Structure 1
Amino acid sequence: MIKHGWLELATKIPSPHFNERPDPDDISLLVIHNISLPPEQFGNDFVEDFFCGKLNCSLDPYFESIRDLRVSSHLFIKRCGALIQFVAFDKRAWHAGVSEYNGHENCNDFSIGIELEGTDHLAYTSAQYTTLQLVTQQLIAEYPQLTPQRIVGHCDIAPGRKTDPGISFDWHYYLDGIES
């Protein structure tokens, strides 16, 4: 269930990296991403710290390259299937960057971003797919402009710049699971 833009089944960790949507009623695209910090390392809290502007950049040399980024996502699904929400759905999270979908630029304005803990080349876990499918069903029920046809990867809205969720993401399995 979603109350006041927050998914009740998610752990809530509010991020300061958001702003108002131009039209809060236009939530019409779901964007699937992947992230791991440091790259290809899992099971830590670095993504949460990064999305909240609290990443200790002295802990890994890679963190220096992302020090000045202000990024967030609405949701993050860890490899164990745990779900964290950083930004209310009626607010604009900063996940898509320079992007375009069907002639409309700045997909952050009208999309919900879901980050999966992972990489382009490593299979996602069954727990992640289960959580993602459940969340997607709830989002589609709450926001009628979201449909299975309006679910994309970051690579689809920022081609040439982004590749996630990558070749390891099983679109057929995911989409079959939200329609059952």
Structure 2
Amino acid sequence: MVLYEKAKQIDCPHFDARPDESDIDLLVIHNISLPPKQFGSSDIRKFFTGKLDPNAHPFYQHIAHIRVSAHCVIYRSGEVEQFVPFNQRAWHAGVSTFQGRHRCNDFSIGIELEGTDDLAYTQEQYQALTDVTRFIRQRYPRISLGRIVGHNDIAPGRKSDPGVAFDWARYRTAINA
């Protein structure tokens, strides 16, 4: 199991084995907030562990049944929770394509930032994302800068995250420093 030692490990049922663990060469950045545009609840954790109460918020009635996960979530505070070991397949990308390859979950790692497309991410999140990215790239050197993308890049028209608020230049400069 490939685990990030600085992350809190969370048991998650929404993952399975990759077709080929040696084929990991893509990092996908996402965002999530539950309820939408609200921060600080435990609902992301509940969603990724299949424990989201559909009656807790009207929006949850539409998503509580969905089986989804990410490898890690980085909260506004910079806290990192890992839901799926990196060598396993998290269910984060959905219908997706990158450079002609379909089913990006098979060969990618998914990192969720607690946030929205149009609200700036925190300094703590950029620092934690930089640290996690460096850890991942040390273990999976085929993930070059050109293979770090947003969910919008692999599911255009269907997804918009991490959104216009994500500062790609800041992030790429930090991981290269």
TM-score of the superposition, structure 2-length normalised?
0.99
Match of 1:129 in 2: 126
Give the distance between the partners of 2:112 and 2:121, measured in 1 at CA: 12
Q: Does residue 18 of structure 2 align to residue 26 of structure 1? A: no
Query: 4+ runs of 1 displaced by more than 3 Å?
Result: none
Report deviation, 1:51. Answer: 0.1
Give the counterpart of 1:52 among 49, 52, 57.
49
- Identify the residue that residue 83 of structure 1 maps to in structure 2: 80
Please tell me the residue identity of whatever aligns with 1:141.
Q
Structure 1 residue runs without a partner (length 5+)? none
User: AA paired with 2:85?
Assistant: A
Work out the CA distance in 2 between the residues paired with 1:80 and 1:129. 10
- Count of residue correspondences: 177
Structure 2, unmatched stretches of 5+, are: none
1:82 positional shift: 0.2
Whether 2:67 is the aligned partner of 1:70: answer yes
Question: Do structure 1's residue 153 and structure 2's residue 158 form an aligned pair?
Answer: no
Shift of 1:147: 1.4
- For 2:43, the aligned partner's letter is F
Deviation track 1:44-91 (CA, whole Å, cap 9, x = no partner) reads 100000000011111111100102210000000000000000001111
